[in-house]
Structure formats: C-alpha cells, structure tokens
Amino acid sequence: MVLRINIILVFLLLALTSFGAPSTTQDEARYAGGVQSYTEGDYEQALEAWLELYDAGYRSAELAYNIGNAHYKTDNIPGAILFYERARLLKPADEDINYNLMIARTRVVDRFEEIPELFFIKWFNFVSLSVSSNGWAKFSLASFILFLLLLSLYIYSSKYRLKVMGFWTALFFLIFSLSTFAFSNRNKFLVYEGNKAIIFSPAVSGKSSPDNSGTDLFMIHEGTRVTVEDAVGEWYEIRLSDGNKGWVPANTLEII
C-alpha cells in the first residue's frame, strides 16, 4: 500500500474541502503523527489520529485513502473498502485509490454477477466527480452571468452580426450553465447523499420484510457493496449488484 506523506499538499486540500473549519497547527501535528505512526508500523495509532481529523469534518481524497490503507493494514477489510470508496468519490480517476480498492475487494467473500451500468450514467457520474460540487457551481454561476450579458447584447445591439453572435453565444453559455448545475447537484448527491453502502457484519441475511420474522432471501458477508433502496425503522432495504433485494438491520452497514 502506497502512503502519501506530502503533508503540506494534504492540508491545503483539507483546508479547501473541510466544512469551513481552518486547519490548525494541532491538526497538522495530528496528521503528521499519523504519518509517523504508519511508517513505524503502528497502524492502530495512525488510524486513531486520522479518524479524529475525519470525524472533525475534514474531507480530502488523500485523508480517506490513508485511512483506508490503515484499515487494510489492521485487517479491517470493510473499513478499508469504505474509505477507498469515499476517496474514489473525491478522485475517481486516481490510480492508487482504484488499485487499492481492487486489491481490498479480492478479500470479499461474495461474488455477484453485476448488472452493467448504462454508459451515459457512468459517464455522467464520472464527469460530475471530476470537479467538486462547489467548483461546478462556480462554473454554472459564471456562465449564467455571461449568458445574461450576451443576451443583453442580442436584445439591445442594433447591428445584425452582433445580434447573431450574441444569440448563439448566449445559448451556448445557457446550456453550459445548466449542464454544470446538473453536474454540481449530481456530485453533491454522490458524495454527501449517496445511497451506496458497505456491509460491516461478518454475515447477514437479506429478509423478505423489515423484521426478524421475514424469510431469508440471501446471505451476504462483510465488505460487500450494496445500494440502499428504502428505510423502515431500524431496517434498510438493499439491492445487490445482481439486482436481488432484501431487508437488513441498519447497524450491519455503513453508508459510503
């Protein structure tokens, strides 16, 4: 497992992506302490330090990736997969994240024939995750302002050539603004409101109804990635990658 120890870069990213909380010397020392513990083979101590940062609200692909590495080193495969998946949401094209996620998935017991995702949905998700939600929102706002300016040129210009140019460029920036707004909303949903989850229970049965008296439909094991379809009380209805559905207790999984 490759460990990224560029502390300055990581904390610039943490500062930019945290929920309004500025990085402090104490936070930097905590992250650096985690790096030192990891390089010395004390993975539990590294995990404790990094999880404190994560629980405090800091978000970056690098932090989630390193937490995943520490979980993997402590043989917590569901935890490793969970944080690799979270890191991939922030950097979907990162080779190290995708490789380590693939390695961790080989440790999962369950193997299902997956229903292939439609190409345009896969492409839309990938593009949405290539820039942060705030980044797409800024593009959308800037292009909408340009649309209004060019629309004014179309309406008020007395020259035919300028009116034509203003109309078509305004139309382009309107389409671009709507597209980037859609990317921003999709990014926000995938990163913060997504319905994907990782099973943490060593083994859990998918029930036909949200109670213990339901019929057992299938058995799944820790590390399996599922989609949460519905919730009733302390039960989640999940869908497996092969399309099968069932109810499991909420405390058997963690939302990505």
Does position 121 have pLDDT exceeding 90, yes or no?
no
Same domain, 209 and 164: no
Within a domain: 123: yes
Which two structure tokens, joined as six digits, stand for 94?
């990162």
| Residues 6 or more apart whose Cβ sits within 8 Å of residue 101 | 68, 81, 84, 85, 88
At residue 1 the predicted structure's pLDDT band, cuts being 50, 70 and 90, is low
- Long-range Cβ pairs for the range 132-136 (8 Å, 24+): 132/17, 132/90, 132/187, 133/184, 133/185, 133/187, 133/188, 133/191, 133/192, 134/184, 135/184, 136/180, 136/181, 136/183, 136/184, 136/187
Does position 15 have pLDDT exceeding 80, yes or no?
no
* Calpha distance 141→138 (Å, rounded): 5
Same domain, 225 and 175: no
Within a domain: 110: no
Residue that has been written with the tokens 């099973």 in this structure: 199
Count structural domains, the chain.
3
Within a domain: 210: yes
Three-state secondary structure call for residue 215: coil
Within a domain: 203: yes
Same domain, 36 and 56: yes
Domain limits for position 28: 7-105
Within a domain: 1: no
Within a domain: 2: no
Same domain, 151 and 208: no
* Calpha distance 78→105 (Å, rounded): 9
* Neighbour tally for 12: CB within 10 Å: 13
pLDDT in tens, 141-154: 999 999 999 999 88
Stretch 54-72: mean pLDDT = 91
At residue 29 the predicted structure's pLDDT band, cuts being 50, 70 and 90, is confident
pLDDT in tens, 241-253: 888 999 999 999 9
Same domain, 129 and 214: no
Same domain, 176 and 219: no
